[in-house]
Amino acid sequence: MHEFSIVSGIIEIVTDSALKHNVQHVTMVEIEAGEASGVVKEAMDFAWEAAKKGTILENAQLKIISVPIRAQCKKCLTVFQASAVFDVCPSCKEMNPDIISGRELRVISIEA
């Protein structure tokens, strides 16, 4: 389960930021997770609950905002919402588009 290592990284980032700003307790962490990032929400939630114990995030909630996969066809340049990274272009049926969004995994806000 790679979600535990992801959550550990998030906790480290948030803890470092909180300590730099003299924050003693964090109440919410909001992240963006692209649908193509490989993150499983349920596994993230489980890892979050386990990893935050004994930290300044012990009572913090994790809010995960899902970012849909958006792609652009390399041939006809059509931009479209995809269900997978190798979706076929709806306009010209070309495969292997460029992924514009949907691979994100980042902390976007912290509440204290």
How far apart CA 45 and CA 81 sit, in angstroms, is: 26
Report the percent of the chain where pLDDT is more than 90. Answer: 93
Q: What is the CATH number of the domain that holds 59?
A: 3.30.2320.80
- Under the banding of pLDDT at 50, 70 and 90, the label for residue 85 is confident
Kindly state the average pLDDT of the residues 50-72: 96
Q: Tokens standing for 45?
A: 């939630």
Q: Determine the structural domain holding residue 29 and report its residue range.
A: 3-111
Q: Tokens standing for 86?
A: 């190798």
pLDDT in tens, 88-106: 999 999 998 999 999 999 9
CB atoms within 10 A of CB 33: 22
Counting the structural domains of the chain, the total is 1
Q: Output 85-93 pairs: Cβ under 8 A, ≥24 positions apart.
A: 85/36
Q: What is the pLDDT of residue 70?
A: 97
pTM of the model: 0.84
Res 1 pLDDT > 80: no
